[in-house]
Amino acid sequence: MAYNVENLFDNVHDAGKNDYTFLPRLEKSGASIRRACLKEFPIFRRQECLETDWNDEVLDRKLKAVAGSILQVPDEQGRPFGADILILEEVENKNILHRLNQQYLRAAKYETEVLIEGDDARGIDAALLSRFPCAETPRLHPLLDEHGNRRKTRGILEVSLRLPSGDVLHVFGFHFPSQFHPVQQRREALGLLRSLIQEKGPQALVIAGGDSNITSREEREFQLTATFLGSLGELSHRLGCALCPGSHFYRGEWSFLDWIFLSHSLIDPSPPISLVRESITTPHQGFSQVNQNGTPRPFKATAKSLKSSGVSDHLPVYLELATPADQIRK
Q: Which of 79-102 are b and which e, b meaning 16 or more Cβ less than 10 Å from the residue's Cβ? A: eebbbbbbbbbbbbbeebbeebbe
Residue 329 has pLDDT above 50, yes or no: no
Query: What is the DSSP secondary structure assignment for residue 149, as one 8-state letter?
Result: P
Of the pLDDT bands very low, low, confident and very high (cuts 50, 70, 90), residue 330 is: very low
- Chain centroid to CA 314: how far? 9
What CATH number labels 2-8+55-329? 3.60.10.10
Average pLDDT over residues 219-237: 98
pLDDT for the residue 323: 84
What DSSP assignment string belongs to 255-314?
Answer: E--EEEEEEHHHHSS-SS-EEEEEEEE----STT-B-TTS-B----TT-SSHHHH---SS
Query: What is the DSSP secondary structure assignment for residue 132, as one 8-state letter?
Result: S
Average pLDDT, the chain: 95
For residue range 181-195, list pLDDT tens digits in order. Answer: 999 999 999 999 999
For residue range 269-296, list pLDDT tens digits in order. Answer: 877 899 999 999 999 999 999 999 999 9
Please report, for the chain, the start and end positions of each structural domain, with discontinuous segments joined by +.
2-8+55-329
Of the pLDDT bands very low, low, confident and very high (cuts 50, 70, 90), residue 324 is: confident
From 4, 56, 62, select the one nearest 25 (Cα to Cα): 56
For residue range 51-99, list pLDDT tens digits in order. Answer: 999 999 999 999 999 999 999 999 999 999 999 999 999 999 999 999 9
Of the pLDDT bands very low, low, confident and very high (cuts 50, 70, 90), residue 42 is: confident
Residue with the larger pLDDT of the pair 212 and 304:
212
Pairing type for strands 112-115 and 125-130 reads antiparallel
Of the pLDDT bands very low, low, confident and very high (cuts 50, 70, 90), residue 8 is: very high
| CA pair distance 172, 140, nearest whole angstrom | 9
- Confirm if 37 and 21 have CB atoms less than 8 A apart: yes
Tell me how crowded residue 269 is: count the other CB atoms within 10 A of its CB.
11
| CA pair distance 194, 125, nearest whole angstrom | 20
Cα→Cα distances 298→57, 166, 223, Å: 17, 39, 29
Residue 328 has pLDDT above 80, yes or no: no
Average pLDDT over residues 128-139: 98
Q: Amino acid letter at 129?
A: L
pLDDT for the residue 1: 98
Average pLDDT over residues 212-229: 98
Average pLDDT over residues 22-46: 92
From 151, 156, 216, 157, select the one nearest 185 (Cα to Cα): 151
Mean pLDDT check: name the lowest of 40-49, 208-217, 272-281, 318-327.
Answer: 318-327
pTM for this predicted structure? 0.97
Average pLDDT over residues 314-328: 84
